[in-house]
Amino acid sequence: MNSKSETDEASRGSEASSSNSDPTPDSSKEDSSPSLCSDSHSDNTQDIMKRAAAKQLIERYFYQLVDGCGNPNCDNKYCASSGEARNLTPNEAAAEAIKLFYKEARLCDSLPNKVPRIEAACCESSTSNTTNTKEKTNKDEKNLNTPSSSTASGQSGEMKAGTSQSLSQFVYKNLSFSNGAPLTEDRMYQLCDDCINNKSPQSLIKALAEAFTQPPILARSFATKVNTDHISTKEEKTAKESKAMCSSDPDKDIDCSSKPALDVASCRRAFEYLSKVPSEKYNSTLVLILATLAEYIQLDIRVGKMPIDDIINCFVIAFEVKDLGCSDYLEVALPALCDAAEHLPIKGQAKLARIWGQECKESLRHILEMLQQLITLRVISTHYTRTFQVQDDESVTKATKLMKIVYYANMIAGVMEPNTLREEPVVITNQLDPLGDALDHLYPLSSIKNSKHSQPKDPLAIELGVNVLDARKPYLPFEEFYNEPLSDTIEMDVDFANYKTDTSGGKKFSFLKYPFILTAATKSLGLYYENRIRMYSERRVSLLHAVVGASPPMPFLKLKVRRSHIIDDALVELEMIAMERALDLKKQLVVEFEGEQGVDEGGVSKEFFQLIVEEIFNPDYGMFTQQVDSHTVWFNPTSFETEAQFTLIGIVLGLAIYNNIILAVNFPMVVYRKLMGKKGSFEDLADWNPILYNGLKDMLDYTGADLTDVYYQTFRICYTDVFGNNIFHDLKENGDSLFVTQENKQEFVELYAEFLLNKSVETQFKAFRRGFVMVTDESQLTTLFRAEEVETLVCGSKNFDFNELEKSTEYDGGYTSDSTTIKDFWSIVHSLSLEDKRKLLQFTTGSDRVPVGGLSHLKLVIARNGPDCDRLPTAHTCFNVLLLPEYENKDKLQDRLMKAISYSKGFGML
C-alpha cells in the first residue's frame, strides 16, 4: 500500500480545510467564527501539527522495521514481517525510518501487536549534542518542506556517530519540536490579557499549541515553585537532569525528589482566567490541540519513553480546561482523551484517581458531567441494532472506563472509613452435588452455574486499596454516576452474556463490569437473568439424574403450608432442605396453600412472603424489636429463638431477592451494610437510633473541660430487653468507675456503637447472614450492588408515583386509555390515600411495594371483564392483570373497587 495519501493527510493536519490555500479572499467568510485555519495564527499552529504528524509517521515506520505488522504473508519489503527487511539495530532502524518518511514508502495497514519499549542507553552529557533551539527549528522546518535523501543520510550518520538513544529522543531532536516554554499561571494571565486587549489570540494559541502538543513540556507546566539557589547556572542544572535521565544503571530508579510537582490549584486558576477570553477565539483550536495531545500521550504510554508521573500531569492539566463552549470537544477531544486514558497501566490509573480525589475535588463534578454528556450524546444520537450494540460503541465504552477512575477518585475525595471493619466470611459446607457438578461439566451453562469466583476483583480497586463499603460519604452522590439513557438502551441479555463469558478481560465489553453507571433497575434485570439461568440449570440437573438412573430430585423448591401455621410449616420445611441439600434453595420457588386451589406462577409466592414477613417481624413473635424513633426493626439480643430460626429468616430474605419478590421489611441501612460484609460503626447509629446518635454527636462536639460533670457518663451502658427490663453492660473492664472525658470520648462512642450494632446481636446476625448467603452466595449481588441498592431490591422503590403507573399501563378486552371506565378508574385511583393505593397494588400485583425503578416498571394490564354487573373486580396477581367489568357509572366503580381491595387476602386473588 502506498502511503503517500496517508502521509499527506497526516502531515498537513487540518491544512486541507485551511482558507489560506485559496489565494483569492472570500469575503463571505469574514464574519464567520474564528477557527484554527481562518485566523492569522494558523500557520504557526499548523507547523506544529505538521511536525507532530511527521513524528507519528516516522515512529510507525520504525516499529514496522523492527517488529513488523504481524501478518505472516506480508509482502512489504520495508516490513520486518515480510522477511525481506534486514535485521536492524534500533539506531539503524530510526535512521532508516526517517529515510522512508521522506521517500513516502509503503506502510502496512496493521500495526504490530506489541509495541515494546526501546531501552534508552546511557548518553553523553556533552554540550556539543545540544543544538540551539532557533537553529534547530529553522533547519527542521526546511527538512520537512524540502525532503531529501542527503539530509536523511546526514541524520543517520549523526545518530550512528553518537551514543545510543531511544527513537523518541531521536525523532524529537531531528523533527525539531519547538522547545517552547512550560505554561505558568503568570504567563497564562499575561497571554489572556494580551488577547483581550489586542483582540488577537495568536500568542495565546501559539503558547497553548506548543505546550499541549508536546507532553514533556506540558508535564512541566504549572510546576510548584522550588528553591534552586543551590544550582549555580542553568547549564549545570540541565547537565544534572540529563545525567539523571541517562543513568548507566538501568535498574537504578531515577531520583525525582527534586523535580517540581504539579500545582493543581495554580493550573485551575490559570484556566479559570482563560474563561475571561471569549471562547470563540480559541475553542476550535484547543479542541484540535487536545485531540493531538491525546494521540501523543497514547503513543508515549505504548513506547514508555515518558515517566508515568509526567503522563498523569498531562491528564490532570488537560481536564482542568473547562470552558470550551463547543460541541466539538464532546465529539473530538474528549473521546481522544478517553482513548488515551484506556492505555494507562493500573498504577497510572490509581495515581490519577488519587490526584483527582485529593487535589482536584472541585473538578470532579465537571469531569463527570463531561463524560456523562459524551455518553448520553452518543446513546441518543446513535441507532443501535442487534449487530451493533452500545457495547460496541468505543466512544461510550472508553468514556465508561475513564469514569471508573473518577468513581474511585470520588470515594477518595469523600469520607472513608477504615477497611478493617469487616464481618467474618460465611463458609457454606453442604453445597456440593457430585452427580450434578459432574454432569454440568458437559454443558456450557456450567460456566454460569460455577461462576461465583469467575469475576475477579477490580484491579484498580485493589491497587488503590478502596472498597465501596468503606465509602461513608462520597464527595458526589453515587446516584450522579447513573446514566439513565444508557441504562434504558442496554440490551441486558447481551450485556449479561458478555459479563459471564468474557471473564479474562478480553474484547467483550460488559457494562455490568462497571455497575456504577447503571441504575439499580437495570442491574436488577441482570441479576434476574442470572437467577433464572441458575433455576433452569437446576431443572436440567434433575432431568439428567433421571437419565442416568438416579433418583430425580424435585425440579422446584416446593413449599406446602397452612395459612393458620404458616411460620411453623415454612420454617420446618426450609430447615429440612437446608440440612439435606442447600442447593435446592436455588431452585424456582413454588408455594401451595393447603386446601386452596391455584397454580403458583408468582402471585401465590408474593402472598406467601407477605404473610410470613408480617408474622416474623411481629414484636409478639420475639425475634425482632421495633425501633420507635426510626420505625425500623432490629434483632432482639435477648431472643429465646434458636440460631436455626434466624438462619431460616435469612433464607427467606435471600429467597425473596432470588425470586425477584419485594418484601415489606423495614431494616435500618446498617443491616444491608452488614450483609454486604461491613460491620456497623458510629455513623450507622444515625438511622438506627437518631436520638441516641444526636446525643453522642453532641458529646463529641462538646469542647468544654467540664464534660464529665455535664454528661456524667461512665463506660457502663444500659439498654432494655423486649420485656422492658434494664440490662447493664461494661464497655471496658470496671466501666462503672471509668468516666467519659475529653480524652476518651471518641473511644467511648466507638465502643458503644460496636456493642449495639455488632457484639450484642453477633449470634443472631451471624445466623441470619448465613441463611442469606446460602441462597445468594453464587450470585453477583455484592459485586453489582451497593448496600443502598440492595435495600431497594428487598423493599422496592419509595416513590409512589401513580402517574407513572398510568402511563405504563396496557389495556385489553376492549378497553383503551380513552374508555370512560378507564378514565373514571384513574380519577378514583389518584384521589386515594397512600394506604388505599398500597391496597390497590396488593390486590393487583400481590405486593404493596413499588418495584425497583418505580411504578413505570410494573406493567399493569387492565382487561374488560364483561358489561355492567354486581361482581367485584378480580385480579391475576401472577401476571399483574386487573379484570374490571364495565360498570355503568363512576360511583358504582368506586364502590366495587374499594370493596375488592379491602377484602382481598386469600380467596380474593387468583
- How far apart CA 526 and CA 544 sit, in angstroms, is 27
Return the residue matching grid coordinates 408515583.
801
Q: How far is CA 119 from CA 158, 165, 788, in A?
A: 19, 8, 50
- How far apart CA 622 and CA 36 sit, in angstroms, is 76
- How far apart CA 763 and CA 695 sit, in angstroms, is 28
- How far apart CA 488 and CA 857 sit, in angstroms, is 11
Dihedral (Cα; 563, 564, 567, 569), 10-degree rounding:
-80
- Domain-embedded: residue 701: yes
Instruction: Considering the candidates 37, 108, 795, 878, report the single residue annotated as catalytic.
Output: 878
pLDDT given for residue 245 in this prediction = 37
- Domain-embedded: residue 28: no
Which range of residues forms the domain containing residue 643? 556-795
Q: How far is CA 183 from CA 209, 215, 217, 261, 561, in A?
A: 11, 12, 8, 14, 76
- Domain-embedded: residue 855: yes
Specify the DSSP element, H or E, that contains 820.
Answer: helix 820-830
User: In 3D, which of 78, 18, 77, 73 has the Cα closest to residue 45?
Assistant: 18
> What CATH number should be reported for the domain holding residue 761?
3.90.1750.10
**10-residue stretch averages of pLDDT, the chain, 910 residues long:** 42 38 39 40 54 70 80 82 73 75 74 38 34 38 36 35 38 46 91 88 89 90 68 44 38 42 91 87 87 89 84 94 78 93 94 94 93 94 90 94 97 92 76 43 41 65 93 95 94 90 70 94 89 79 68 74 84 81 80 75 78 82 82 87 86 88 88 94 92 93 91 89 81 91 94 94 93 87 91 82 86 90 91 87 78 78 89 83 90 89 57
Instruction: Give the chain's end-to-end CA distance (angstroms, integer).
Output: 72
- How far apart CA 180 and CA 217 sit, in angstroms, is 7
Return the residue matching grid coordinates 431452585.
587
C-alpha cell at 359: 487535589
- How far apart CA 502 and CA 113 sit, in angstroms, is 21
C-alpha cell at 400: 465508561
Amino acid at 138: N
- How far apart CA 574 and CA 585 sit, in angstroms, is 8
Give yes or no: residues 628 and 762 share one domain: yes
Q: What is the three-class DSSP state of 713? A: coil
Instruction: Name the pairing type of β-strands 726-730 and 471-473.
Output: unpaired
Give yes or no: residues 736 and 590 share one domain: yes
Measured CA angle at 436 (ends 435, 442), to 5 deg: 100
Active-site annotation holds for 878: yes
Q: What is the three-class DSSP state of 638? A: coil
Instruction: Name the pairing type of β-strands 861-864 and 881-884.
Output: parallel
Give yes or no: residues 811 and 833 share one domain: yes
Tally Cβ neighbours within 10 Å of residue 691.
11
| DSSP structure string for 361-419 | HHHHHHHHHHHHHHHHHHHHHS---SSS-GGG-HHHHHHHHHHHHHHHHHHHHSEE--T
Give yes or no: residues 780 and 810 share one domain: no
- Answer with the one of 505, 527, 547 that is the final residue of a domain: 547
- How far apart CA 411 and CA 357 sit, in angstroms, is 7
- Domain-embedded: residue 340: no
Give yes or no: residues 683 and 745 share one domain: yes
Q: How far is CA 643 from CA 379, 648, 649, 762, in A?
A: 51, 9, 10, 11
Give the total number of structural domains in the chain.
Answer: 5
pLDDT given for residue 740 in this prediction = 93
- Domain-embedded: residue 336: no
User: In 3D, which of 516, 877, 367 has the Cα closest to residue 661?
Assistant: 877
Give yes or no: residues 233 and 261 share one domain: yes
- Domain-embedded: residue 23: no
- Domain-embedded: residue 339: no
- Domain-embedded: residue 869: yes
Phi, psi for residue 357 in degrees, rounded to 5? -75, -30
> Is the distance from CB of 617 to CB of 683 less than 8 angstroms?
no
Contacts of 205 (CB under 8 A, 6+ apart): 36, 39, 41, 45, 282, 285, 286
Give yes or no: residues 856 and 777 share one domain: no
Give yes or no: residues 812 and 791 share one domain: no
User: In 3D, which of 396, 380, 393, 402 has the Cα closest to residue 489?
Assistant: 380
pTM of the predicted protein model: 0.73
> What CATH number should be reported for the domain holding residue 846?
3.30.2410.10
Give yes or no: residues 778 and 863 share one domain: no
pLDDT given for residue 353 in this prediction = 96
C-alpha cell at 104: 513516502
Give yes or no: residues 786 and 806 share one domain: no
Phi, psi for residue 742 in degrees, rounded to 5? -60, -30
139, with CB counted inside 10 A (0-12, 13-18, 19+), is middle
Taking the CA atoms of the chain, what radius of gyration do you get in angstroms?
35
- How far apart CA 468 and CA 463 sit, in angstroms, is 14
- Answer with the one of 777, 795, 813 that is the final residue of a domain: 795
Return the residue matching grid coordinates 378497553.
815
- Answer with the one of 732, 761, 795 that is the final residue of a domain: 795
Give yes or no: residues 781 and 828 share one domain: no
Q: What is the DSSP letter of 423?
A: P
Give yes or no: residues 647 and 785 share one domain: yes
Return the residue matching grid coordinates 450524546.
377
